[in-house]
Amino acid sequence: MGHTIAVTNQKGGVGKTTTSVNLAASLAATRRKILLIDADPQGNATMGSGIDKNRLAHSTYDILMGSLPAGDVITVSEQGDYDLLPSNGDLTAAEVQLLETEQREHALRHALAKIQGEYDFIIIDCPPSLNMLTVNALAVADSVLIPTQCEYYALEGLSALLETVEQIRQSLNPQLKIAGLLRTMFDPRNRLSSDVSAQLTEHFGDLVYRTVIPRNVRLAEAPSFGLPALIYDKYSRGAQAYLALAGEILRRGKEDTRQTEGVQ
């Protein structure tokens, strides 16, 4: 069975959707089979994958409500070469309707049960808040990838997010772990960025990915064309950084597998 990664941060504007889309495209470029789930009603990951959120016949909402199986909703991002469960504003209604259903925290888990084995990685782009959609993502995920800007307020909110992950682990998903902290929109000319980056490494050690995502114009432009940066400009620093992140994630996965086999 593949590995499911929830990309989340309760703070907005930290590069969460950018990371979800570009990591999906970068892992797909390594010939892995990838499913990207847009679990944010804003539908930015859908648009960034080249799919018009305003023309969707069906969306992630339908699988959460149990009205359609996931296989009937999945579309293909031809630009990114990965599968996509798209989203739009309809997903907002799911937040309210899920509160009235049994096993509401596990709606996404049930919806994905029959297809999880078809993918090497499933990446979930979460909303920038701790709502029922985010809880569903964390309840089904194997690990959490946390994009964070190297600035004071981002660092302050990180503690609250880690507490949330721990609560989910204790109550809903004992297997959930932190995949890593990803430094995004990094500007080495900014002293605060360097200082916060050093603090992250000091406090979290190996949990911090070695890969750093730089501030990059091409990375920022790509979504307006409905393209991952790897397709928009594969030689840009942003695209190369996400390729490096994909490689780091794959290496970590191999190391974890070896350690597990060693224990057995």
DSSP bridge pairs for 180: 145
Q: According to the model, what pLDDT value does residue 134 have?
A: 94
Would you place residue 1 in the very low, low, confident or very high pLDDT band (cuts 50, 70, 90)? Answer: low
**Are the C-beta atoms of 144 and 20 separated by less than 8 Å?**
no
In this prediction, residue 12 carries a pLDDT of 81
- Within 10 angstroms of residue 169's Cβ, the number of other Cβ atoms is 16
Residue 264 has pLDDT above 60, yes or no: no
H or E stretch covering 3? strand 3-7
Residue with tokens 């029922």: 132
Range of the domain at 17: 3-263
pLDDT for the residue 263:
52
Q: What is the pLDDT of residue 222?
A: 96
Average model confidence (pLDDT) across the chain:
92
Q: Which two tokens stand for residue 2?
A: 């593949």
Domain count for the chain: 1
Q: Which residue has the tokens 């797909």?
A: 28
- The Cα–Cα gap between 162 and 146 comes to 9
In the predicted structure, residue 155 carries a pLDDT above the cut 90: no
Give me the phi and psi of 227, to 5 degrees please.
-130, 140
Alpha-helical regions (H) of 54-117:
60-64, 70-73, 91-98, 107-112
Conformational region of residue 139, where left means phi above 0, alpha means psi within -120 to 50, and beta covers everything else: alpha
pLDDT above 60 (res 249): yes
Mean pLDDT calculated for residue range 218-229? 95
- Whether residue 187 contacts residue 215, with contact meaning beta carbons closer than 8 Å, is answered with yes
DSSP secondary structure code for residue 79 in this structure: T
Report phi then psi at 176, rounded to 5: -65, 135
What is the distance of C-alpha 125 from the center of its chain?
4
pLDDT single digits (tens) 103-139: 899 999 999 999 999 999 999 999 988 889 999 999 9
CATH of the domain at 141: 3.40.50.300
pLDDT band per the 50, 70, 90 thresholds, residue 157: confident
C-alpha torsion 191→228→32→74, nearest 10: 130
Query: Would you say 105 and 59 are in contact if contact means Cβ atoms under 8 Å apart?
Result: no
